[in-house]
């Protein structure tokens, strides 16, 4: 287990200003998603179709990866395979060196966050500029994103104004339009001077070898067309079989992420610049990254690879809303992170994230591809207990309960003791707010249902 676990990080985060900003942002996104779904009668059918496409793709991933690599190569791209983050970073560095690139512009990409690409490039003396407004702010602040689609959901306008004044020397303002204009002015020169553009990939299309990107700021298009070379880094699971399938995914993604009918800039790129094209890069490299994903394919949590990174599950999760994304201590937060990260990086260090859920089921209800997050959270918890990775207190409690529950006499004694305790400390609400001894920790954060004063057996006997 990591030295500082989720519980400690969350305890600190809950008291911060970030938590309030996160909760407000998550609420806004949820309201927009619900509105978008209600105004699109075919939403439920589209979700069913999107789920079918993702499950089918994962079940045939080897075949679709091969087809995608072949089609992308035929379209004039260079396709590279990386087994882990280190290898992916080395490939990027090699391309940067071969193309004599000194300035890189990046559009938003979670997989490059995952493999910490920026560090590698900066260590090699290459300047990297994030061009998504949220990512740009995060980079100036020296932080990591706290949300999959809204990296600065935890920041207030005041904080961003102060940051801009300090880091890029503009007049102090909280006005969103002025802040936007300042960022646009700063980034425009970077786009024009950049040698290399790096993007993620929202979806790769197997039969055409195309890659699809969605952004709301147009920075993705500038990143992928202005510099001489474009590198697209793609998690190996991000495929759909056909362009028609891509249409379905874009429909549910935009509505679930931001509540739009379609993201402002939905781009499909098939190959580098052609002789008659007015613009575009001379070279387009696609790096397909495994980094633990093929391992997850063999696990009972493989379904999580169907995730399309819309962020809806984060926005509805009561734990995420209270603690914010940084409490998860890793790139992916919220329910998707609580399943994906332990599956990718192991239960030993990250298993406690699976506890970061109330199992209320809101994430499953919100997920556009109907990923059964609660089922996988429970499975990870079970695995953690089976591998003896749960905290000693929890293990003791489960052991004690199991010993009593498998012995009828002991179980009866336990139930009677509970009944006596309830008579001794009656409650009007039906909930106990403080328990002694081992139960203290439980009631320090939530109430415990009061036991019945008479056991089932006692009532049964009486009724007969």
From the list 130-138, 311-319, 350-358, 383-391, the region that binds ligand SF4 by CB under 6 A is 311-319
If binding is defined by CB under 6 A, does position 50 make contact with ligand SF4?
A: no
Among 369, 376, 389, 415, binds ligand SF4 (CB under 6 A): 369
Task: Centre a 10 Å sphere on the Cβ of residue 449 and count the other Cβ atoms it contains.
Answer: 11
Query: Cβ distance 209 to 70 under 8 Å?
Result: yes
Contact string 215-254 vs ligand SF4 (x = CB under 6 A): ----------------------------------------
Alpha-carbon gap, residue 325 to 333, rounded angstroms: 5
State the chain's maximal CA–CA distance in angstroms: 90
Minimum Å distance from CB 303 to ligand SF4?
9
Residue number, 47 or 285, with CB nearest to ligand SF4 = 47
Question: Cβ 221 to ligand SF4, closest distance in Å?
Answer: 24
- Mutual angle of helices 157-167 and 133-141, in 10-degree steps: 70
Find all residues with CB under 8 Å of 339, minimum gap 6, and list them: 301, 304, 354, 373, 376, 377, 380
Number of residues lying near ligand SF4 (CB under 6 A)? 14
Nearer residue to ligand SF4 within complex by CB, 205 or 366: 366
**Across the strands, what pairs with 385?**
none
* Residue 366 is a binding residue for ligand SF4 (CB under 6 A): yes
One residue of 232, 336, 380, 422 binding ligand SF4 per CB under 6 A: 336
Phi, psi of 286 (to 5 degrees): -115, 120
Nearer to ligand SF4, 219 or 256 (CB): 256
Identity of the residue, 79 or 367, whose beta carbon is nearer to ligand SF4 in the bound complex: 367
Options 371, 376, 389, 422; binder of ligand SF4; rule CB under 6 A: 371
Residues whose CB is less than 8 angstroms from the CB of residue 48 and which lie 6 or more positions away in sequence, other chains included: 370
Tell me which stretch binds ligand SF4 (CB under 6 A): 187-195, 303-311, 387-395, 412-420.
303-311
CA 314 to chain CA centroid, Å, is 8
Contact region with ligand SF4 (CB under 6 A), list: 60-68, 134-142, 365-373, 417-425:
365-373
Q: Does 310 bind ligand SF4 (CB under 6 A)?
A: yes
Strands (E), 196-323: 196-199, 203-205, 210-215, 229-235, 239-240, 265-269, 283-289
Nearest distance, CB of residue 311 and ligand SF4, angstroms:
5
State which of residues 367, 376, 380, 415 lies at the interface with ligand SF4 (CB under 6 A): 367
- Least separation in angstroms between CB 332 and ligand SF4: 9
Verify binding: residue 354, ligand SF4, rule CB under 6 A. no
* Residue 452, SS3 per DSSP: coil
Q: Angle 392-405/408-424 helices, nearest 10 degrees?
A: 110
Q: Which of 308, 317, 303, 291 is nearest to 251 (CA)?
A: 308
Given 231, 307, 344, 353, the residue binding ligand SF4 (CB under 6 A): 307
Adjacent-strand bridge partners of 210:
205
- Interface with ligand SF4 in residues 271-300 (CB under 6 A): none
Q: Which of residues 1-20 bind ligand SF4 (CB under 6 A)?
A: none
Q: Does 311 bind ligand SF4 (CB under 6 A)?
A: yes
Residue 312 interacts with ligand SF4 (CB under 6 A): yes or no:
yes
Q: How far is the CB of 97 from ligand SF4 (least distance, A)?
A: 35
79 beta partners: 286
Note whether 362 binds ligand SF4 by CB under 6 A: no
Instruction: Determine the Cα–Cα distance for residues 246 and 252; give it in Å rounded to an integer.
Output: 10
Closer residue to ligand SF4, CB minimum distance, 65 or 312? 312
3-state secondary structure of 232: strand
We find the least distance from the C-beta atom of residue 464 to ligand SF4, in angstroms, to be: 50
Asked if 243 contacts 210 with a C-beta cutoff of 8 angstroms, the reply is yes
Residue 414: HSE in the Cβ half-sphere, 13 Å Cα cutoff: 12
Question: Closer CB to ligand SF4, residue 126 or residue 302?
Answer: 302
Nearer to ligand SF4, 149 or 286 (CB): 149
Give the count of alpha carbons within 13 A of 47, CB side only: 16
Binding positions for ligand SF4, 129-148, rule CB under 6 A: 148
Among 314, 324, 327, which residue's Cα sits nearest to residue 4? 327
H helices of 109-169, in order, are 110-114, 117-123, 133-141, 157-167
Kindly state whether residue 308 participates in binding ligand SF4, applying the rule CB under 6 A. Answer: yes
Site residues for ligand SF4 per CB under 6 A: 148, 307-313, 336, 366-369, 371
């Amino acid at each position: 287990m990591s030295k500082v676990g989720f519980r400690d990080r969350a305890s600190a985060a809950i008291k911060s200003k970030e938590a309030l900003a996160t909760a407000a942002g998550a609420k806004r996104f949820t309201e927009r998603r619900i509105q978008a779904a209600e105004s699109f009668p075919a939403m439920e059918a589209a979700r069913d179709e999107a789920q079918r496409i993702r499950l089918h793709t994962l079940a045939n991933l080897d075949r679709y990866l091969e087809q995608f690599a072949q089609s992308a190569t035929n379209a004039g791209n260079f396709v590279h395979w990386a087994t882990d983050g280190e290898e992916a970073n080395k490939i990027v560095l090699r391309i940067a060196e071969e193309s004599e690139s000194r300035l890189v512009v990046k559009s938003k990409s979670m997989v490059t966050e995952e493999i910490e690409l920026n560090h590698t490039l900066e260590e090699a003396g290459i300047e990297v500029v994030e061009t998504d407004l949220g990512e740009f702010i995060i980079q100036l602040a020296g932080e990591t994103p706290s949300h999959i689609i809204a990296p600065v959901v935890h920041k207030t306008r005041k904080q961003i104004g102060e940051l801009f004044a300090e880091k890029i020397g503009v007049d102090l303002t909280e006005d969103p339009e002025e802040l936007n204009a300042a960022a646009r002015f700063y980034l425009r020169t970077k786009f024009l001077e950049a040698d290399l553009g790096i993007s993620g990939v929202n979806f790769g299309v197997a039969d055409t070898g195309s890659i699809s990107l969605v952004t709301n700021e147009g920075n993705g298009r500038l990143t992928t067309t202005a510099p001489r070379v474009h590198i697209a880094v793609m998690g190996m699971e991000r495929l759909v079989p056909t362009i028609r399938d891509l249409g379905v995914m874009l429909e549910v993604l935009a509505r679930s992420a931001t509540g739009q009918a379609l993201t402002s800039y939905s781009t499909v790129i098939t190959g580098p610049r052609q002789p008659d094209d007015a613009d575009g890069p001379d070279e387009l490299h696609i790096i397909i990254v495994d980094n633990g994903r093929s391992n997850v394919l063999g696990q009972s949590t493989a379904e999580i690879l169907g995730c399309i990174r819309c962020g809806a599950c984060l926005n509805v999760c009561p734990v995420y809303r209270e603690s914010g994304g940084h409490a998860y201590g890793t790139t992916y937060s919220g329910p998707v992170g609580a399943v994906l990260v332990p599956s990718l990086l192991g239960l030993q260090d990250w298993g406690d994230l699976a506890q970061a859920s109330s199992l209320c089921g809101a994430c499953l209800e919100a997920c556009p591809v109907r990923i059964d997050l609660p089922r996988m959270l429970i499975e990870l918890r079970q695995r953690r207990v089976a591998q003896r990775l749960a905290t000693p207190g929890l293990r003791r409690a489960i052991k004690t309960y199991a010993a009593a529950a498998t012995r009828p006499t002991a179980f009866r004694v336990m139930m009677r003791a509970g009944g006596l305790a309830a008579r001794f400390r009656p409650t009007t609400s039906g909930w106990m707010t403080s328990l002694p001894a081992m139960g203290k920790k439980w009631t320090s954060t939530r109430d415990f249902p009061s036991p019945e004063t008479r056991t089932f057996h006692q009532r049964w006997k009486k009724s007969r």
